[in-house]
Amino acid sequence: MKTIDELLADGVSGKRVFVRADLNVPLADGTITDDGRIRAVVPTIKALADAGAEVVVASHLGRPKGAPDPAFSLLPVAERLAELLGTPVAFAEDTVGPAAHAAVDGLEPGQVAVVENLRFNPGETSKDDTERGEFADRLAALADVYVGDGFGAVHRKHASVYDLPARLPHYAGYLIAREVGVLKKLTDDVRRPYVVVLGGAKVSDKLAVIDQLLGKADRLLIGGGMAYTFLKAQGHEVGISLLQEDQIPAVKEYMERAEKNGVELVLPVDVLVSPEFPDLKTKAPSQHTVVDADKIPADQEGLDIGPRTRELYASKLGDAETVFWNGPMGVFEHPDYAEGTKAVAQALVESDGFTVVGGGDSAAAVRTLGFDENAFGHISTGGGASLEYLEGKTLPGLAALED
Phi, psi of 57 (to 5 degrees): -100, 135
Residues 204, 252 contacting (CB under 8 angstroms): no
Residue 13 burial (C-beta neighbours within 10 Å; 0-12, 13-18, 19+):
exposed
∠ CA 333-364-293, rounded to 5°: 50
Residue 188 burial (C-beta neighbours within 10 Å; 0-12, 13-18, 19+):
exposed
In sequence order, the 6+-apart residues with CB closer than 8 A to the CB of 1 are 171, 172, 398, 401, 402, 403
Alpha helices for 106-247 (secondary structure H): 129-140, 174-187, 207-213, 227-233
Please name which of 6, 78, 79, 89 lies closest in space to residue 49, comparing C-alpha atoms: 89
> Catalytic one among 173, 200, 360, 382?
360
Q: Is 202 a catalytic residue?
A: yes
Q: Is 360 a catalytic residue?
A: yes
Which residue type does 368 have?
T
Q: Is 225 a catalytic residue?
A: no
> Catalytic one among 15, 16, 20, 37?
37
> Residue 292: CA atoms inside 13 Å, Cβ hemisphere, count?
4
Residues 332, 348 contacting (CB under 8 angstroms): no
Element (H, E) at 10: helix 4-10
Q: Is 302 a catalytic residue?
A: no
3-class SS of residue 322: strand
> Catalytic one among 157, 167, 185, 202?
202
> Catalytic one among 224, 239, 306, 384?
384
Question: Which sequence positions are flagged as catalytic?
Answer: 37, 202, 360, 384
